[in-house]
Amino acid sequence: LNVTLAVLFVPAAFVSGVPMEIIGGHLITALCAFLIAFGLFAFNIVGGGDAKMIPAVMLWVGPSASITFLFVMAVAGGACAILIIRKTMPVEVVPGAVRAPFEEKAGVPYGVAIAAGVFAAGSQSPFLTDVLSRISLFS
């Protein structure tokens, strides 16, 4: 999923009307996010999937929306971490497909926080809004 997300940026950048300077800013933002996420993974702060998803998403969000993305992601991640229902609901009553976050010593389901950050920051990204507007022209 994360590789697909990153690879799809290439054709989207090719067909977008966004200048190359902005595309370069997106690449630099993703590289910085990769280095930071790799460090967080190395110190066992985030999982490997999250450490790969954050840079892939930052590639699309870019520098202009990165602060909003990171802020909302952090707040949503904190909300997931302190969610009381996760600690009070018995694992046995949770359906098997969604049981993993409710297991003993389960990590925080940070994909939810990453998605919240993208939804909050997407409209602030010139690249993302341009690509989405071009897609909506075809529907």
* C-alpha to C-alpha distance for 27 and 80, rounded to whole angstroms: 29
Q: Phi and psi dihedrals of 105, rounded to 5? A: 60, 25
* C-alpha to C-alpha distance for 59 and 48, rounded to whole angstroms: 17
Given a contact cutoff of 8 angstroms between Cβ atoms, the answer to whether 37 and 3 are in contact is: no
pLDDT in tens, the chain (139 residues): 899 999 999 999 988 878 899 899 999 999 999 999 999 999 988 889 999 999 999 999 999 999 999 999 999 988 877 765 566 666 666 676 666 666 666 666 788 899 999 999 999 998 888 888 877 766 5
* C-alpha to C-alpha distance for 64 and 17, rounded to whole angstroms: 17
- The model carries a pTM of 0.79
Number of residues that make up the chain = 139
In this prediction, residue 106 carries a pLDDT of 65
